[in-house]
């Protein structure tokens, strides 16, 4: 059966746990070892994987992990009820605001990055949600 889970590489597992639990009010689920932790509280489980900066992204590949701000075509959107409170909580946990809160036809959105360079959005949908775009 198809399913979805999210894996996020971090250079330090404890720093990753501290950020994601504080920013998104997640809780630690299973801890598989010192470098692999499950976080609960989203619709899909989120797993933090400790991967050192400079380590190979794929076996035999030439690219290596870097934790300065980087772009990826895939990023999580975290849906929240109170966008202003969520942005405040994320910033207090170490996130960087990249685009201030703005109104959109479907609600309100803010673009941020975690302390490890991964981009994410916080979204508070209005009653129409994405149906406002059709």
Give the model's pLDDT for residue 71. 84
Give the CATH number for residue 42.
3.10.180.10
- The string of DSSP codes covering 85-134 is HHHHHHHHHT-EEEEEEEEETTEEEEEEE-TTS-EEEEEEE-SSGGGGG-
Say if residues 76 and 68 touch (Cβ distance below 8 Å): no
**Could you read off the pLDDT of 20-77 as tens digits, one per residue?**
999 999 999 999 999 999 999 999 999 999 999 999 998 888 889 999 998 888 999 9
- Tell me how many domains the chain contains: 1
Whether 67 maps to a domain, the answer reads no
Say if residues 42 and 78 touch (Cβ distance below 8 Å): yes
Whether 49 maps to a domain, the answer reads yes
Whether 84 maps to a domain, the answer reads yes
Whether 39 maps to a domain, the answer reads yes
Residue 84 domain boundaries = 6-53+75-133
Q: Residue 125's beta-bridge partner residues?
A: 107
Whether 90 maps to a domain, the answer reads yes
User: Is the pLDDT reported for residue 102 higher than 90?
Assistant: yes
97 — pLDDT class (breaks 50, 70, 90): very high
CA distance to 32, 75, 108, 127, per residue, from 6 (Å) = 16, 10, 24, 27
Q: What is the mean pLDDT of residues 88-115?
A: 97
What whole-number percentage of the chain has pLDDT above 90? Answer: 87
Q: Residue 21 burial (CB < 10 Å; 0-12/13-18/19+)?
A: middle
Give the model's pLDDT for residue 105. 97
Give the model's pLDDT for residue 62. 86
Cβ neighbors of 45 (< 8 A, separation 6 or more) are 5, 6, 29, 38, 39
């Amino acid at each position: 059966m198809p399913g979805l889970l999210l894996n996020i590489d971090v250079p330090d597992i404890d720093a990753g746990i501290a950020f994601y639990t504080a920013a998104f009010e997640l809780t630690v689920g299973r801890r598989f070892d010192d470098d692999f932790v499950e976080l609960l509280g989203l619709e899909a489980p989120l797993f933090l994987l400790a991967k050192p900066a400079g380590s190979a992204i794929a076996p035999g590949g030439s690219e290596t992990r870097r934790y300065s701000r980087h772009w990826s075509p895939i990023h999580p959107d975290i849906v929240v009820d109170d966008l202003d409170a969520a942005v405040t909580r994320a910033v207090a946990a170490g996130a960087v605001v990249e685009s201030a809160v703005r109104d959109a036809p479907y609600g309100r959105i803010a673009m941020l990055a975690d302390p490890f360079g991964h981009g994410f959005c916080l979204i508070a949908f209005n009653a129409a949600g994405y149906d406002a775009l059709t």
